[in-house]
Structure 1
Amino acid sequence: MLVYRGYSQTAPSPTALTIGNFDGVHLGHRALLARLRTIAARENLLPAALTFEPHPREFFSPETAPARLSTLREKLELIAEDGVALAYVCRFNAHFAALSAEEFIERILVGSLRVKHLIVGDDFRFGAGRRGNFSLLREAGERYGFQVEAIDGVTVEGERASSSAVRNALAEGRLDGATHLLGRHYSIDGRVVHGDKMGRQLGFATANIRIKHDKPPLLGVFVAEVLGLSDKPLQGVANLGFRPSAAQVARPLLEVHLFDFSADIYGHHINVRFLHKLRNEMKFPNLDALKVQIAADVAEGKAYFKHRGTEARR
């Protein structure tokens, strides 16, 4: 996938375009992207997406902005998997926020992205003061020569698939609910870095993953799988949080203990897939009590995978 930062570069060919934050790339987003692939193939257009960094709510109200489900890298990887060939990442700053809806259409959609078919969600708003809407896009399409269509939201088991719904499910520990809304297990990418080796001292060595989520959407201890180290997922348990029983950290830290694994993986970029929540983080009176709890977490994690394997063989 070709990625342009900003909108100064002109698209190499006319595009079928969708626009959004795509945080988490849930089933609602994927319905947009599926329609985009269909239209692009039918009309011989380049399938393209326009997204923003940071999230507009992080720009306007950083203190109250919601937890980010995906980093920019994760988001781009996911939309590329869904068939997007060209992505424009517009920096959401004061200048961009001040663009009128008409300027957004003329300068970005028509001038830079060469849009011929635009697909948006049914609640899409744009431009300064969010004054742009579907009616304005249709009028502009008639003037500039592009088609516009809106896609209805996707409902999963009676719940609308949205980034907010996914955040709520993760925060409440309902990983199955988040999986249904995402169409996949929630995961976080990151690079393995050196830690304080506390896990090794306790007899449960961990991979410490540097993450960019300052405010992750979930915290606690989880059954997890790790991708990127083998041709198949590796099983383990993960702790995402602030380590209240050890050397407490200011930023959330992701630590994963992999079962029956001892290779040197420092520097590897891996993907941690969260399968099931075991418990919240707890503060223990001493390291011996922490060690006992970690052993119990590992045993419960192994039991989870054994049960899953048994179910799969039935």
Structure 2
Amino acid sequence: MQVFRGFTDNLPQGPRALAIGNFDGVHRGHKVLLARLRQAADRLGLPAAVLTFNPHPRQYFALKTGKMADAPATITPLREKIHALSQCHLDEVIIARFNQTIASLGAEDFIKKILVDTLHVEWLMVGEAFRFGKGRTGTTDDLEKAGHRYGFHTEILPAVTDMNGRISSSAIRLALEQGDFETVATLLGRPYTISGHIVHGDKIGRGLGFPTANIPIRHYNPILSGVFITRVHGLADKPLPSVSMIGTRPTIESDRHIMLETHILDFHRNCYSSLIEVEFLKKLRDNQKFPDLGALTAAIGKDVAAARSYFEKTPEQKLTE
């Protein structure tokens, strides 16, 4: 799978089958859409391509207006999104920077300049709720009509549902906010994880007796905040039990970038620069400011004890179901 950052000169100029969307989470509904894209591309002898946006358009407009409460929290950072898309048998992923240029394109200009003139779309698929163009004025009906004018076929995917209702990024965000990781895994079709390379920290956790593997959270608005029971993949033959904090550290400093800090139980190996994947299992508590480091140390000790109890009571078979 080739990944293109924007509409570069390296982007192949031939016709393609294309799906458009934010694909936040790359959940089971997205996978149905992408499977149909792959089938159509194979039938027509075309490359299967995805056009997605970074940042999420609603995050862009929220930042521009200063109304950050309107921005949806991100389920899947860009690294995870690209990795998940790479598992969907695609040929191309085109990541368009959502900026003022794209935001100001009217629906007809979006179709003509991007879909027709730049991407040479021959077959197009979007979800039934897809909207595009300045002010979100473009509809799926507009795409179908434009296809007749420009010679591409448009297929609209109805909402994908299961016994609990519509499978959507909104449903996943709600389940994550509630700490319902079983529902999240059902909707995603996989456990919820965050990955990244371990970086050097300020060694405060080590000084408190709880060394951590630190992953910086950059360029996106994470939906999770708090302390969680987790497992770490990538450092051993099997997942390692751990406790993780995601957020800032109000007890230690007031102005800090968001970090994912993971204490791996009974693990003492140097793992700086390693790429790990942290799987979230259960929320223990919200982040809070403690009166001093002694109180913070005691709270972390309780978190670790809770994690040990969890793993003792939860068989490995249950964790892998």
TM-score above 0.5, yes or no: yes
In 1, the alpha carbon distance for the partners of 2:141 and 2:222 equals: 36
SS of the counterpart of 1:193? coil
Q: Does 1:143 align with 2:149?
A: yes
The C-alpha deviation readout for 1:247-283, integer Å capped at 9, x for no partner, is 4443322110112211111122322111111222233
- Once the two structures are TM-superposed, the CA of residue 238 in structure 1 deviates from its matched residue by 0.5
The C-alpha deviation readout for 1:165-215, integer Å capped at 9, x for no partner, is 222221222222222222222222222122221221222211111111553
SS of the counterpart of 1:283? coil
In 2, the alpha carbon distance for the partners of 1:67 and 1:117 equals: 31
Please give the residue correspondences for 1:13-162 in structure 2 after superposition, counting only pairs within 5 Å. 13-62=14-63, 63-64=68-69, 65-162=71-168
Q: Which amino acid aligns with 2:78?
A: L
SS of the counterpart of 1:61? helix
- Once the two structures are TM-superposed, the CA of residue 19 in structure 1 deviates from its matched residue by 0.2
Deviates more, 1:252-261 or 1:59-68: 59-68
- Once the two structures are TM-superposed, the CA of residue 55 in structure 1 deviates from its matched residue by 1.2
In 2, the alpha carbon distance for the partners of 1:31 and 1:172 equals: 26
Flag structure 1 segments of 5+ consecutive residues without an equivalent: none
8 A Cα contact 1:68 1:213, kept in partner: no
Deviates more, 1:286-295 or 1:216-225: 286-295
Query: Normalising to structure 1: TM-score of the pair?
Result: 0.91
Q: Which amino acid aligns with 1:33?
A: L
Match of 2:202 among 196, 199, 206: 196
Distance change in 2, residues 1:118/1:295 (3 Å): same
Distance change in 2, residues 1:247/1:130 (3 Å): closer
8 A Cα contact 1:25 1:79, kept in partner: yes
The C-alpha deviation readout for 1:45-98, integer Å capped at 9, x for no partner, is 211000111211122122231222222222111111112220111121111112
Distance change in 2, residues 1:230/1:39 (3 Å): farther
Match of 2:238 among 232, 238, 255: 232
8 A Cα contact 2:217 2:257, kept in partner: no
Distance change in 2, residues 1:125/1:270 (3 Å): same
- Once the two structures are TM-superposed, the CA of residue 118 in structure 1 deviates from its matched residue by 0.9
Q: What residue is the counterpart of 1:292 in the other structure?
A: 298
8 A Cα contact 2:77 2:220, kept in partner: no
Q: Which amino acid aligns with 1:135?
A: D
Distance change in 2, residues 1:307/1:114 (3 Å): farther
Count the aligned residue pairs. Answer: 314
Query: Normalising to structure 2: TM-score of the pair?
Result: 0.89
8 A Cα contact 2:54 2:97, kept in partner: yes
- Once the two structures are TM-superposed, the CA of residue 25 in structure 1 deviates from its matched residue by 1.4
Q: Does 1:6 align with 2:6?
A: yes
Q: Which amino acid aligns with 1:174?
A: D
SS of the counterpart of 2:290? coil
SS of the counterpart of 2:314? helix
- Once the two structures are TM-superposed, the CA of residue 293 in structure 1 deviates from its matched residue by 2.8
In 1, the alpha carbon distance for the partners of 2:133 and 2:247 equals: 37
- Once the two structures are TM-superposed, the CA of residue 12 in structure 1 deviates from its matched residue by 5.1
Q: Which amino acid aligns with 1:30?
A: K
In 1, the alpha carbon distance for the partners of 2:44 and 2:37 equals: 11
Q: Give the share of equivalent positions with the same residue, in percent.
A: 47
Match of 2:170 among 154, 164, 182: 164
- Once the two structures are TM-superposed, the CA of residue 309 in structure 1 deviates from its matched residue by 1.9
Q: Which amino acid aligns with 2:119?
A: L
Q: What residue is the counterpart of 1:269 in the other structure?
A: 275
The C-alpha deviation readout for 1:108-160, integer Å capped at 9, x for no partner, is 21222222211110111111222221222112222222211111112244232
Q: Which amino acid aligns with 1:44?
A: G
In 1, the alpha carbon distance for the partners of 2:112 and 2:316 equals: 58
SS of the counterpart of 1:221? strand
In 2, the alpha carbon distance for the partners of 1:310 and 1:98 equals: 52
